[in-house]
Amino acid sequence: MKISLLIPVLDYDIVALVYSMKNAMGKVPEFCEILIGDDGSTAEFSEKYRSLETENIKVISSEKNIGRAAIRNKLALEAKGDYLLFIDADVMLPGTAEAYILKWLPSMKVSRVICGGTLYHESAPGDPDKLLRWKYGKWREQKSAVERNKHPHAGFSTFNVLIDRSVFSKIRFNEELKQYGHEDTLLGYQLKKAGIGILHIDNGLMHEGLESNREFLNKTKLGIENLSKLYDKVTDKKAFSETVILLGFYNKLKFFGLTRIMAAIFIRYRDRMEIRLDSSDISLLLFGFYKMSMFCTYREIHNRKKITPVF
């Protein structure tokens, strides 16, 4: 069984990462290639990616930015491996590439979809402007395999995931999602609906590319908006809600008739909440409330539109 490593990237320096991974290629026979998905990067970065090309390292380019879902699908079509190893560009190996690749092999015998996990540095970033992303990642994303396997589809992420090629060819990423947010959630839901299990193991990669507080708040907005649109489009809202913790809370608020109150609070206090979240005194409890009230606001907006479920 061969593994293709797929790295979608946009204007991010992955030279060190690719060289590290390249060192494992000759040591692990199952590791057959590295494909870099250049999703409309500037000429400076595109040239860097091209300089990495060898017989087993190839760049798949898109002249314009086609989005996270489309570039991943494009990489999968070009890959030769039986298993597709998707990782984000802004990762760092906590150990050797050889150890990282070898750790996937035993799980390939028992599961067709395997998530390795996300890691964050123990100490807070020196730049306080990146504190929100680090705190949230440590709290929500860095979980052991034991914890993630309790609700495997809810813990699905393409940050660091190995997928059987035959499974991916049937489901793929939905390219209708153009803006940032919840591509992983939809794919996890589709795997659940298809009856395909997910195995979580402890084979994490370090998340290095922390956004500034303001950038992360902007990405959160895009993600929450996408989530609300997806909620309208899925055919099985119960199964979809089981893959997203926030939706479970939303359904409880809806049952008690509190969603409009939450939306009103968001509209009135949004600026104050964002000022607090873009500071050195960050409250994750407030961030959770911020996301929930924002989602309620988008639900009020999207409920006025008639959308036919398609997924």
Give tens-digit pLDDT for 68-89: 888 999 999 999 999 999 999 9
pLDDT given at position 280 = 86
Strand residue runs (E) in the chain: 3-9, 31-39, 57-62, 83-87, 91-92, 113-115, 118-119, 160-164, 199-200, 205-207
Q: Per-residue pLDDT for the chain (311 aa), expressed as one digit of tens each?
A: 999 999 999 999 999 999 999 999 989 999 999 999 999 999 999 999 999 999 999 999 988 888 888 899 999 999 999 999 999 999 999 999 999 999 999 999 999 999 999 999 999 998 999 999 999 999 999 999 999 999 999 889 999 999 999 999 998 887 776 666 788 888 999 999 999 999 999 999 999 999 999 999 999 999 999 899 889 888 899 989 988 889 999 999 999 999 999 999 999 999 999 999 999 889 999 999 999 999 999 999 887 765 555 44
d(CA 109, CA 267): 51
d(CA 15, CA 273): 38
Sequence spans of domains, the chain: 3-210, 218-302
Residue 199 contacts residue 114 (beta carbons within 8 Å): yes
Give tens-digit pLDDT for 108-117: 999 999 999 9
Please state, in angstroms and as integers, the Cα–Cα distance from residue 263 to each residue in 83, 274, 288, 303, following that order.
44, 15, 14, 13
> What are the tokens at 214?
């303001």
Q: What is the CATH number of domain 3-210?
A: 3.90.550.10
Burial (Cβ within 10 Å: 0-12, 13-18, ≥19) of residue 180: middle
Q: How far apart are the first and last CA of the chain?
A: 31
pTM: 0.92
Q: How many CA atoms lie within 13 A of 70 on its CB side?
A: 17
